[in-house]
């Protein structure tokens, strides 16, 4: 059974988070949006914006790494990414080969990062999130976390071979070489760094350089843990509200049952 088939509608009690419920069965992203690539798919899409996307990503990961289900075709990718003009970050990076094959006309920007700085940053942010015991517990009862967390774990267990602290840098280097081998040079902007600004990016994409507009710098992860814990609390509030509603429904049903019993007995002995 595919993970996408496990989709359930968003509970009406999920009012403390702003997740959307679309059943499709950061700096770089902001820059692409500013250039007119309005929907640039990013990890935020399936982590906090539209959690049902995580089900499709889970199906894609299982098909690629476990041989469960059919590998994604252009049609499958269109279903997941078809509303976007660009895609960046994870979990898409695990499918560089598949996406290049599905969209051979696409241009590819390979952003340059110092591997040690990237590894240290990821350890204290996304990898921390993948090992967060609070999120793991929430996945058992929260509508959003129940879709997102299993996919997040699956991503680290497969793409980073189950050992990000020790194998992350090696996988990073191998991934960059794979992308360079897959994409023709005329369609690849290699080692682009956000500190390079608009000029090389716009020249490569064929877009005009935005005037009087500094390159966005929104990929600040200093408060990542704080934001994640805040989201955990809000998801806990959703779960608590849903539980309260369910308890209320039980009491209402019990009240109705008592009323019916009393009503029948009253009429029998009149």
- pLDDT tier, 40 (very low <50, low <70, confident <90, very high otherwise): confident
- pLDDT tier, 30 (very low <50, low <70, confident <90, very high otherwise): low
Measured CA to CA, the distance from residue 123 to residue 163 in angstroms comes to 11
User: Which is higher by pLDDT, 210 or 171?
Assistant: 171
The length of the chain in residues reads 270
pLDDT of 27 strictly over 90: no
pLDDT in tens, 106-129: 999 998 889 999 999 999 999 999
pLDDT in tens, 160-181: 999 999 999 999 999 999 999 9
What mean pLDDT comes out for the span 214-242? 80
Radius of gyration for the chain, computed over Cα atoms and rounded to the nearest angstrom: 23
User: Which is higher by pLDDT, 260 or 92?
Assistant: 92
pLDDT of 61 strictly over 90: yes
- pLDDT tier, 268 (very low <50, low <70, confident <90, very high otherwise): low
The 10 Å CB-count burial string (b at 16+, else e) for 228-245 is: beebbebbbebbebbeee
Question: CA dihedral in degrees (133, 227, 43, 85; nearest 10)?
Answer: 170
Pick from 31-35, 40-44, 160-164, 165-169: least confident: 31-35
Closest CA to 139 of 148, 130, 131: 148
User: Which is higher by pLDDT, 39 or 140?
Assistant: 140
What mean pLDDT comes out for the span 225-250? 85
Could you tell me the CA-to-CA distances from 81 to 28, 78, 101, 141 in Å, in that order? Answer: 17, 5, 15, 28
pLDDT of residue 26: 47
The pLDDT mean for the chain works out to 83
pLDDT in tens, 147-157: 899 999 999 99
Measured CA to CA, the distance from residue 60 to residue 70 in angstroms comes to 8
What mean pLDDT comes out for the span 68-79? 91
Residue % of the chain over a pLDDT of 70: 82
Pick from 7-21, 28-42, 208-222: least confident: 7-21
- pLDDT tier, 4 (very low <50, low <70, confident <90, very high otherwise): low
What mean pLDDT comes out for the span 25-44? 64
User: Which is higher by pLDDT, 48 or 218?
Assistant: 48
Q: What is the pTM of this model?
A: 0.79
Question: CA dihedral in degrees (180, 183, 187, 188; nearest 10)?
Answer: -20
Q: Are 225 and 59 in contact (CB under 8 A)?
A: no
């Amino acid at each position: 059974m595919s993970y996408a088939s496990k989709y359930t509608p968003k509970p009406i009690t999920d009012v403390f988070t702003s997740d959307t419920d679309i059943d499709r069965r950061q700096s770089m992203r902001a820059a692409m949006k500013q250039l007119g690539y309005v929907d640039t798919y990013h990890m935020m899409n399936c982590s906090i914006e539209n959690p049902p996307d995580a089900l499709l990503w889970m199906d894609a990961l299982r098909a690629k790494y476990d041989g469960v289900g059919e590998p994604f075709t252009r049609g499958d990718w269109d279903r997941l990414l078809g509303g976007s003009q660009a895609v960046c970050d994870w979990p898409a990076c695990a499918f560089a080969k598949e996406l290049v094959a599905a969209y051979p006309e696409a241009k590819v920007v390979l952003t340059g990062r110092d591997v040690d700085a990237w590894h240290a940053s990821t350890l204290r942010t996304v990898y921390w999130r993948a090992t967060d015991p609070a999120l793991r517990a929430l996945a058992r009862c929260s509508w959003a976390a129940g879709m997102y967390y299993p996919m997040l774990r699956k991503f680290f267990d497969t793409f980073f071979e189950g050992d990000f602290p020790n194998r992350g840098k090696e996988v990073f280097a191998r991934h960059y070489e794979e992308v360079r081998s897959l994409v023709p040079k005329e369609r690849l902007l290699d080692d682009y760094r956000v500190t390079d600004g608009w000029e090389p990016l716009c020249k490569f994409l064929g877009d005009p350089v935005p005037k009087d507009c500094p390159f966005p710098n929104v990929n600040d992860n200093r408060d990542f843990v704080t934001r994640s814990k805040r989201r955990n609390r809000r998801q806990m509030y959703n779960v608590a509200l849903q539980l309260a509603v369910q308890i209320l429904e039980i009491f209402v049903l019990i009240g109705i049952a008592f009323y019916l019993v009393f009503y029948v007995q009253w009429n029998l002995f009149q």
